[in-house]
Structure 1
């Protein structure tokens, strides 16, 4: 297991992505099938006030924690994903995508386990851009059975033995129980960088290396609104103490990011570039993937945050669930020096 290396051993931040290919990241979390259905619409149904969509095509992409893993791989990192998949059509589709992408997969499965799936229907007229009309979610409605939770924790412990960093991606699908959280705390205590992005239960991830809430998640954690810079500073510092982490990276949309560290440091990072976002789907996945891979490569928290900020700005220029490649990140860094 590798601890965060001193910053003085690094290449310059603009060349740091060149070291990504030698780093190994363990992704632990909710593996989601992002299922897209595309069609054409030109009339309203007689049965109800809804548009009729004529089916054209469909595709499945790696979503949720699987998208974090895909981003690590696109950045040239080596990645292993640990989570749960059902013995169903979407589970089979994700397994194939993992194999095609070069991601090692350790997935538990069992009777009654359904692959977490988000089906989006996008349609438009003959000469118009497709718009998302509906999203249908399906998957686990409860925590995994105790037997599978223990098996998952064991897989995490074994897979972490040759990892340089761990990313935890919690979308609330019931995979990350106390058994896994206990293993993660031990790994962080031993010096392995463990970075967590949790949509609904960040307060349960105490004692890890880095936590990455967005502003609404920070507000939920603080129990009060964050409207001013003073509110942000107070909430961020309180969250850092409450979570017992070494750093807190707050993503703030068009306001960029703010990085808090356990020594009392606060670093406001303005949003990168001037282009308006095209689609923010999965942007947080790209941010936590880049941040964690940078830590695995020896970056400081500040250097990792700045790289993640650039990667996040690039991915929101792409429609749907997307990734940023190492070459794209390097080219952007070179062009803005």
Structure 2
């Protein structure tokens, strides 16, 4: 399987001409980075001497910064709190090629912005502290969101549902969003949650990992045959154009329903440093390149290579066009025409 260099370059050009709408659960990731030199006298736990702090977009926000990194403009729908973390999250979104007009945020007076703090020492995560309240949207909130969504959808080539099951993507909102996308003939892709797994009907593609797909079906998925059977079973219920199951060290498998075709793509990661956000990179790069008209198999190959790059970085990292091209070339997936 190879991608023609001229085709890749054409897609790179087209990425700058499209918008992708991201709707889902916004999260602010915080990192406290330091070293451990002693054990606390108060309890048998390490004392982390913090030397550096940083914040970045997590959840659906990481999808947005992945879009920005490959040159795609984003339209963002999500919820934050009226707090310091919310201000920071909004600032990060605006810094990632999202204009204020394309930032449709529900700002809650009663709920905090979801904040996940990771404490890291000597490249090891010591612990994570989560601050969140999972509360579904009200009926009135959903109505207002859908009115704005319907307007913004017309500007976009594709929609990504980034579901972290934090209350924003309710069952009724999921179904309404997909129905509107189908009515407007827009590509819709889903990074799913098991609790909503069989609600994502009539989409282009869903990208669960093998644990999520297995949990939804009530069994473990290990072999290629088990993955293929699962893809067909899920597709019969949801009727997507394609199914993608990511498989960790085994790479990913893609099923095209109309042609009954499978592609098993091996992992390309040389060194796994942090898997945080790898799934966001997969769905982002796949969706963006599909929106430029690239075939399913080629877009999947690019998403696999992109994921292999980001797992070698710390935190919810991103990938660039240059890194994608270099990665494809290094792995022998880039065909240079004479």
Instruction: With the length of structure 2 as denominator, give the TM-score of the two structures.
Output: 0.90
**Separation in structure 1 between the aligned mates of residue 77 and residue 168 of structure 2, nearest angstrom:** 10
Indicate yes or no: 2:189 matched with 1:195.
Answer: yes
Q: Give the structure, 1 or 2, with the largest relative contact order (CA under 8 Å, sep 6 or more).
A: 1
String of CA shifts for 1:83-116, please: whole Å, max 9, x gaps: 1111111111011111122223211112212211
1:5 counterpart residue number: none
Aligned pairs for 1:133-282 (under 5 A) are 133-177=126-170, 178-200=172-194, 201-273=196-268, 275-282=270-277
Q: What displacement does 1:264 show?
A: 4.4
Task: Give a deviation string over 1:52-83, Cα, whole Å, max 9, x none.
Answer: 22232321101110000100110001111111
1:203 Cα deviation (Å)? 1.7
Conserved? CA contact 2:24–2:161, under 8 Å: yes
1:274 Cα deviation (Å)?
5.8
Secondary structure of the residue that 1:217 maps to in structure 2? Answer: helix
1: distance between equivalents of 2:269 and 2:220?
27
Aligned to 2:296: 301
* Offset, 1:149: 2.3
C-alpha separation in 1, matches of 2:269 and 2:98: 33
Q: CA deviation at 1:32?
A: 0.7
Q: 8 Å contact 2:23–2:161 — kept in the other structure?
A: yes
Q: Which runs of 5+ in 1 are unaligned?
A: 1-9, 124-128
1:1-337 map, 5 Å = 12-13=7-8, 15-104=10-99, 105-123=103-121, 129-177=122-170, 178-200=172-194, 201-273=196-268, 275-335=270-330, 336=332, 337=334
Would the alpha carbon gap of residues 272 and 255 (structure 1) be closer, same or farther in structure 2, given more than 3 Å must change? closer
RMSD: 1.8
Tell me the CA shift for residue 189 of structure 1. Answer: 4.4
TM-score (norm 1): 0.90
Please say which of residues 256-265 and 90-99 is displaced more in the overlay. 256-265
Report how far residue 326 of structure 1 moved.
1.4
What whole-Å deviation, never above 9, does each CA across 1:166-217 have from its counterpart, x for those lacking one? Answer: 1110011110121343122231344210000013322222222211111011
